[in-house]
């Protein structure tokens, strides 16, 4: 709203509320009315949440199993101990997909992929959507200076936050390559088709433990899809001094600032799948509940339109900044940003 529109609104309010004889004595009445209660609906904006850390996604390499029913423990094969317990350091309980790419000298190469531990949803969610609640305010007048009054303000408020993220994004991945030795001069079974050795054997033997292991980073190598939700009941308290100026006989402007605190009663749930380039599919899910206390400050501006000696219609805007909120919900960390929250209030006031 520009300066012209604000001025027009105030002039209209002053014009519409034509003072009666009782209203003409309002300043005297207000002097004897140091207590002011107000109740208002409250809408919060610029609040967002971000889900961080994909550390516990479990890899399911192609959902395949060995002849004995065990899951593949590599993207392109498996290696397990055989019926002998592999006490001699060798096993025939192994399999692989491609002899051309997985045989290197006298070793078989097995690849295992994982999602980077610090992958986050990149942009946060619901930063611009409104979150709704209510606020109860008590103002105690402590004195006057000319037409200005001043005092102490205390307010209790409630805000419901429901944030949902269904975005897809790319994250980093890591591919680990383990090398298993076989006897020089021997030739492993050809693949494709995929070779699958069994637990009981017999079959071609390789070492049961890797002779080397290397890891390579895959930037953007994991395409991540899923659903993420964070819900919270936020109970707030603010306390600080205020000053009030008359804009005309029936319209007052109140300014306040001070300390703010909030109790966040939050819960989160998430379910995600990561498709790794050249590798397997990682999945994970979780949920949880948390109770945390946050602290900060606020500034507030409010316009009061006096409807009678005691009743008024009120509207205001608040800026509030609170300390950071971060909690781990079964492997996924939620970061709630309440550092630049803006609130619009609309309600009624009563002086006594």
Look at residues 187, 219, 251 and tell me which one is the last residue of a structural domain.
Answer: 219
pLDDT in tens, 39-74: 999 999 999 888 887 655 766 656 789 999 999 999
Three-class SS state of 106: coil
Rounded to an integer, what distance in angstroms lies between the CA atom of residue 267 and that of residue 199?
45
What's 72's DSSP letter?
P
Q: Do 132 and 28 share a domain, yes or no?
A: yes
Q: Do 329 and 236 share a domain, yes or no?
A: yes
Evaluate the CA torsion angle 103, 109, 110, 111 in order and state its sign: negative
Q: Do 186 and 287 share a domain, yes or no?
A: no
Residue range of the domain that includes 209: 58-115+174-219
Task: List all residues 6 or more positions away from 16 whose beta carbon is below 8 Å from its beta carbon.
Answer: none
Three-class SS state of 11: helix
Q: Do 202 and 284 share a domain, yes or no?
A: no
Residue 110 has pLDDT above 50, yes or no: yes
What pLDDT score does 54 carry?
A: 62
Q: Do 140 and 286 share a domain, yes or no?
A: yes
What pLDDT score does 121 carry?
A: 67
- Quote the strand ranges of the chain, DSSP E: 35-45, 48-52, 58-60, 77-79, 90-91, 94-96, 103-104, 107-115, 131-145, 148-165, 169-181, 195-196, 206-207, 212-246, 251-276, 281-306, 311-322, 325-329, 332-337, 341-351
Q: Do 103 and 123 share a domain, yes or no?
A: no
pLDDT in tens, 120-177: 766 556 555 789 999 999 999 999 998 999 999 999 999 999 988 888 888 888 899 9
Identify the helix (H) or strand (E) that includes residue 31: helix 26-31
Q: Do 327 and 256 share a domain, yes or no?
A: yes
Using 50, 70 and 90 to split pLDDT, how confident is the model at 331?
A: confident
Residue 97 has pLDDT above 80, yes or no: yes
What is the number of domains present in the chain? 2
What global pTM score does this model have?
0.74
Q: Do 125 and 214 share a domain, yes or no?
A: no
Q: Do 202 and 293 share a domain, yes or no?
A: no
Phi, psi dihedral angles at 15 (to 5 degrees):
-75, -40
How many residues are recorded in the chain?
352
Return the CATH number at 343. Answer: 2.40.160.20
Look at residues 219, 252, 286 and tell me which one is the last residue of a structural domain.
Answer: 219
Q: Do 80 and 147 share a domain, yes or no?
A: no
pLDDT in tens, 299-322: 999 999 999 989 999 999 999 999
What pLDDT score does 1 carry?
A: 47
Q: Do 189 and 301 share a domain, yes or no?
A: no
Q: Do 52 and 62 share a domain, yes or no?
A: no
What pLDDT score does 151 carry?
A: 97
């Amino acid at each position: 709203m520009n300066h012209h529109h604000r001025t027009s609104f105030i002039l209209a309010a002053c014009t519409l509320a034509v003072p009666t004889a009782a209203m003409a004595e309002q300043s005297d009445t207000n002097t004897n009315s140091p207590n002011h209660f107000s109740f208002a609906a409250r809408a919060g904006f610029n609040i967002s949440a971000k889900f961080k850390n994909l550390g516990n996604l479990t890899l399911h390499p192609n959902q395949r199993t060995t002849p004995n029913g065990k899951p593949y423990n590599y993207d392109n094969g498996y290696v397990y101990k055989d019926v002998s317990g592999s006490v001699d350091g060798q096993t025939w309980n192994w399999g692989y997909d491609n002899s051309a790419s997985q045989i290197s000298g006298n070793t078989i190469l097995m690849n295992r992929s994982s999602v980077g531990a610090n992958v986050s949803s990149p942009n946060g969610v619901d930063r611009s959507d409104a979150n709704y609640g209510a606020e109860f305010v008590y103002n105690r007048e402590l004195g006057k200076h000319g037409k200005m009054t001043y005092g102490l303000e205390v307010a209790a408020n409630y805000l419901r936050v429901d944030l949902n993220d269904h975005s897809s994004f790319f994250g980093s991945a890591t591919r680990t390559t383990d090398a298993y030795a076989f006897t020089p001069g021997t030739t492993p079974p050809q693949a494709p088709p995929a070779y699958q050795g069994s637990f009981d054997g017999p079959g071609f033997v390789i070492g049961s433990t890797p002779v080397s292991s290397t890891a390579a980073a895959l930037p953007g190598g994991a395409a991540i899809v899923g659903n993420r939700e964070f819900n919270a009941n936020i109970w707030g308290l603010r306390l600080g001094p205020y000053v009030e100026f008359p804009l005309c006989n029936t319209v007052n402007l109140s300014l306040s600032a001070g300390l703010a605190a909030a109790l966040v009663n939050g819960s989160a749930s998430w379910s995600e799948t990561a498709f790794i380039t050249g590798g397997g599919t990682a999945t994970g899910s979780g949920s949880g509940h948390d109770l945390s206390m946050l602290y900060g400050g606020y500034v507030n501006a409010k316009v009061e339109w006096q409807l009678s000696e005691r009743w008024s219609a009120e509207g205001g805007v608040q800026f509030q900044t609170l300390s950071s909120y971060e909690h781990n919900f079964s492997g996924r960390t939620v970061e709630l940003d309440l550092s630049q929250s803006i609130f619009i209030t609309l309600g009624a006031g009563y002086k006594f």
